[in-house]
Structure 1
Amino acid sequence: MRFRPFDSLFGRLSVFTVGVLLLSHFAWYTAIRFERSEMQTHYAVEETTFLVDAVKQHQARTPNLPLPSRVHLVDQGASSVPPPDADQKPTFERFLSDLRDAMPDGTMMRVDDSKAPPRLWVLMPKDSQWIVVPLQPLRGPRTFDKMLFWLIFITIGAAMSGLFAAWQVQRPLRTLVAAVGRFGRGQLVGPVIESGPRELRQLTRGFNQMVSDISQTQSDRNVMLAGVAHDLRTPLARLRLRAEMLDEPRVRDGVVRDVVSLTHIVDQFLMFANDAPDQSLPTSVEALCERAARNYHAVYPTDALIELDLAAGPDFALPEASLDRMLMNLLENAHAYGAAPIRISTWRETGRWYLRVCDSGQGISPANLAAATRPFVRLDPARGGNGHSGLGLAIVDRLARHAGGVCEIDNRPEGGLQVTLSFPIRA
């Protein structure tokens, strides 16, 4: 399955948090820059209006006193007056528009930026002289300033805080997902700690209660199954002893065969009911496969051809009791329902160990593949055979999951059933 980082809850919360923070911060930054430009133009208009009004009052009340060095009065027809198109420059367009609204109607204005600093020429109605005052500084938008630096710093800090909050929210959910995965693989799951938001705590509490109820139900079923199977062993042993004492050979052989089948079913029940962890020591899978093949050749010398393709190496090891039960059930299933040759393969690939047992029979219909590992499911109409309880593959699937592996059942393209067990490589 392809890894998609933004398909997880944390990935989506991260994208949402960072996106909202970036959008809000840069919207705030744009608004502040626009408002600063508006305020700068407003203050420049007020200062220019005040300065022009001060020059007008000075001219009316104290015409004999000299004006400041940067303020001049120039006759209307002087050659130094800027041309009329000087006020069309984009830099001063907004400033001059607001200044005209603040000045009397009919006021003429010119901007002369040929020298530094720029100067503003103002000619009011009924005046014969231009009032020349220094133009208030108007700063255009800068590509980078301290505000942008602080904005980036604050955005990164807020994004890190948001990601930490998102991680705290999804951490209990990730723990719950891991517990659900282990429970689905048949592994033992302890109570999950209830943490996080109220809804997540309620979900965790419900999961813990469900696991407890299912575990109790399975325990009760296994105890009942083990008790029934155990109680049947003694009557079956007496029944076989009495059958072997019959004088009629055909009747004796038929009864013994039925007793053997019943004994096998009882043994399967006991094996399925035994849900305790395997405490046996790990053993080499390939060595046990070779031993199982020799045993089956000894039991079925004429019709049990087993081929070995062992390529995993000696490092592939599993608990001996579980491995022996899995191989025994797989070989019995292949011998009872399939056809020779039976092939046992092992290999290592993409960080996992693989063990496969396949036969050359008719396989299982695709509609029944999903039900093959369910307990007490009989697939005899698809594959033939009798005297079995429908627990063979269910036991293999349970033992594989208890060992941390996965059991996959499929039909071979060339015919027959193949059961593939995969286990993670552990140091």
Structure 2
Amino acid sequence: MLRRFRPRSLAARTSLLLIVGLGIIEAIGLAVHALDRIDFDRRMIQQESQNHVGMIYRSIVETQPQDREAELLALHPPATFHIALTPGPDPDMVEQAASDPLARLRMGHPPFAPPPFAHPSQNLPPLPPHMRPRQVLFSAPHGSPRRAVAFLLPDETRWLTIRYVLPSPNPFRSPTFPTAFALMTVAGGILIVWGVRRLVAPVGTLAAAAEALGRDVNAPPMSEDGPLEIARAAQAFNTMASRIRRFVTDRTLMLTAIGHDLRTPITRLKLRAEFVEDDELRGKFLADLDELESMVAATLAFGRDTSRREPMGRLDLTALLQTILDEAAETHPDQAEAIGFSTPPPAVAIAARPVALKRALNNLVQNAILYGGGARVTLQAPQPEHEGERLTTILIEDDGPGLPPEDLTRMFEPFVRAEASRNRETGGTGLGLAIARNIIWGLGGDIRLGNRTPHGLRATVTLVC
């Protein structure tokens, strides 16, 4: 289940890892900061509670004695406060203060000496002398948030007792905590994604360059800019591509040179064959020499197609296919009815090398006619594919015997011909499909062969628009 949501790209995985790590570090940092503020928050809570106590005392002491009960009911203290007017101090508070030396110290008295009362001005804001309490009793049990303070009012008739509970400081409950966490995570996440994408971008460039090299051995080299590691990888890739190009060029030149050198002995053999008196034997010699000469010519053409670089240009693919089919119908008038578009083609324009592409598609059409008795072509409208490319597909189908499954890929190798499923009397050297594939790969496209049901062969050509 989790595997479905796992990021697939290196940039996404790296960004997710760094963002999660950043979130953890920020959470720990904010937690430490919040814990450091607990003492400060506790003092603030105590100060706020003491302010409430002072305000309550002042409200009561400024009221006439006969109206104090009504004033007490009219007050709206915090929910944790309980206020009472009594004739005397709470005995529990007196007993606790008498038995707690620390409480006496907190009130400013010797630990074991009476009286158990604090200074009259303790816990109160500055007041005129006539409004100050005559005595103050304060209770704060150790380890407990409960507090109590009792004031003997200036007229010495009643005690004002205020009990309250100090709320526990909880900095994590603050609204600024999640807001700060979210803002820092989002800001850090944006910077992480931006930085990771810039760092990982050369990897995508390397992958694109490798794919381009696989399609066209003469693809332009990579830029060698960027960080040291990326620059070294680009240099190594360019060196490898240069060696591959040199190897392919040397092999092609050697093959072309051999084919060129064979022309002279073939011509001499043809001349000598004319002196053979046996007509049947002379005919066989000349047929073999003609086949050998056609193979040499195909080899030279293969070498020229590999080394020649025709410039790219925009062309009307629909018109090009129509021209190829018209020429094929003129060349094979007896099969003209089986040559043409299977459905009305859409208008498609692509960037390609016109002469090379025409040769590749013509090879496929001629193979379908020679080996399958006809060629039905389907041109599909361009469709958006991965990485924003728009691809168009050409289907070239025939009604021949098809190919064994193991030969569908092998047929693109140079000098390979099917021996059982195709008609050998039609000639050919086994270079047509190899040339077609090299041309289509050089244009950034692809070509595949597949059998049709119940019989026949389908060549699928994909080209970038």
TM-score, with structure 1 as normaliser: 0.73
Seen in structure 2, the aligned counterparts of structure 1 residues 226 and 359 have a Cα distance that, compared at 3 Å, is same
Does residue 12 of structure 1 match 2:13? yes
Do the aligned residues in 1 keep the contact of 2:364 with 2:396 (CA within 8 Å)? yes
Between the aligned partners of 2:34 and 2:319, the Cα distance in structure 1 is 77
Does residue 423 of structure 1 match 2:463? yes
Q: Which letter does structure 1 place at the counterpart of 2:451?
A: N
Does residue 395 of structure 1 match 2:435? yes
Rg bigger for which structure? 2
Seen in structure 2, the aligned counterparts of structure 1 residues 26 and 343 have a Cα distance that, compared at 3 Å, is same
Does residue 343 of structure 1 match 2:343? no
Seen in structure 2, the aligned counterparts of structure 1 residues 290 and 151 have a Cα distance that, compared at 3 Å, is closer
Matched residue of 2:378: which SS? Answer: strand
Matched residue of 2:414: which SS? Answer: coil
Does residue 366 of structure 1 match 2:405? yes
Q: Which letter does structure 1 place at the counterpart of 2:189?
A: A
Residue of structure 2 aligned with 1:215, choices 245, 248, 257:
245
Do the aligned residues in 1 keep the contact of 2:119 with 2:136 (CA within 8 Å)? no
Instruction: Percent identity, please.
Output: 23
Do the aligned residues in 1 keep the contact of 2:108 with 2:118 (CA within 8 Å)? no
Structure 1: tracts of 5 or more residues without a match? 76-80, 82-95, 102-108, 112-118, 123-128
Aligned to 2:34: 33
Seen in structure 2, the aligned counterparts of structure 1 residues 144 and 55 have a Cα distance that, compared at 3 Å, is closer
Do the aligned residues in 1 keep the contact of 2:368 with 2:398 (CA within 8 Å)? yes
Aligned to 1:68: 122
| 1:312-365 deviation digits (Å, cap 9, x = unpaired) | 3263574331123113322343344x3213222222131322222222222222
Between the aligned partners of 1:154 and 1:145, the Cα distance in structure 2 is 15
Does residue 315 of structure 1 match 2:349? yes
Q: Which letter does structure 2 place at the counterpart of 1:22?
A: G
Residue of structure 1 aligned with 2:148, choices 120, 127, 131:
120
Residue of structure 2 aligned with 1:289, choices 318, 321, 326:
321
Seen in structure 2, the aligned counterparts of structure 1 residues 52 and 369 have a Cα distance that, compared at 3 Å, is farther
Aligned residues: 381
Does residue 100 of structure 1 match 2:142? yes
Structure 1 residue 28 displacement after superposition: 2.6
Aligned to 1:409: 449
Residue of structure 1 aligned with 2:109, choices 46, 57, 64:
57
State which drifts further: 276-285 or 14-23. Answer: 276-285
Question: CA RMSD of the aligned region, Å?
Answer: 4.2
State which drifts further: 379-388 or 21-30. Answer: 379-388
TM-score, with structure 2 as normaliser: 0.67
Seen in structure 2, the aligned counterparts of structure 1 residues 299 and 234 have a Cα distance that, compared at 3 Å, is farther
Aligned to 1:375: 414
Aligned to 1:88: none
Structure 1 residue 194 displacement after superposition: 3.9
Matched residue of 2:142: which SS? Answer: helix
Residue of structure 1 aligned with 2:187, choices 153, 157, 178:
157
Do the aligned residues in 2 keep the contact of 1:326 with 1:395 (CA within 8 Å)? yes
Matched residue of 1:12: which SS? Answer: helix
Structure 1 residue 401 displacement after superposition: 1.5
Between the aligned partners of 1:176 and 1:360, the Cα distance in structure 2 is 43
Aligned to 1:355: 394
| 1:404-425 deviation digits (Å, cap 9, x = unpaired) | 2221222223322211212122
Do the aligned residues in 2 keep the contact of 1:17 with 1:163 (CA within 8 Å)? no
Q: Which letter does structure 2 place at the counterpart of 1:155?
A: T
